[in-house]
Copies of this chain bind each other. A is one copy, B any other.
């Protein structure tokens, strides 16, 4: 079973697809991303990463809602990542971008 199938099975066992609309799913991804970010509030990256269990939980929540959004819209996760990397490749050619923080800041 893929992760996508597991996420769908969790949702469908509860018949929760009826509550899912894409606006609230986008909103939910934002909320979970904030909970992930909160782990680093008033901390350095080094301090924040110590709380690895919380990071696992919140990062998983971001992914779970992202997968639910993809499923709602019949999007293939691997396909949209591939498509975006191709766009980024054109926008940030290796020769200009390598080791270049200025280009990176503009990402």
Contacts and interface: CB of A to CB of B under 8 A. Distances in A.
Interface of A: 2-3, 6-7, 10, 13-16, 18-19, 21-24, 26-31, 33-45, 48-49, 52, 55-57, 59-64, 66-67, 69-70, 73, 75, 77-78, 80-85, 87-89, 92, 94, 97-101, 103-105
A62 B56 contact: no
Nearest to A9: B85
Given A14-B99, A33-B33, A60-B84, 5 more contacts: A19-B101, A31-B38, A59-B80, A63-B77, A63-B81
A14 B93 CA distance: 9
B66 A85 contact: no
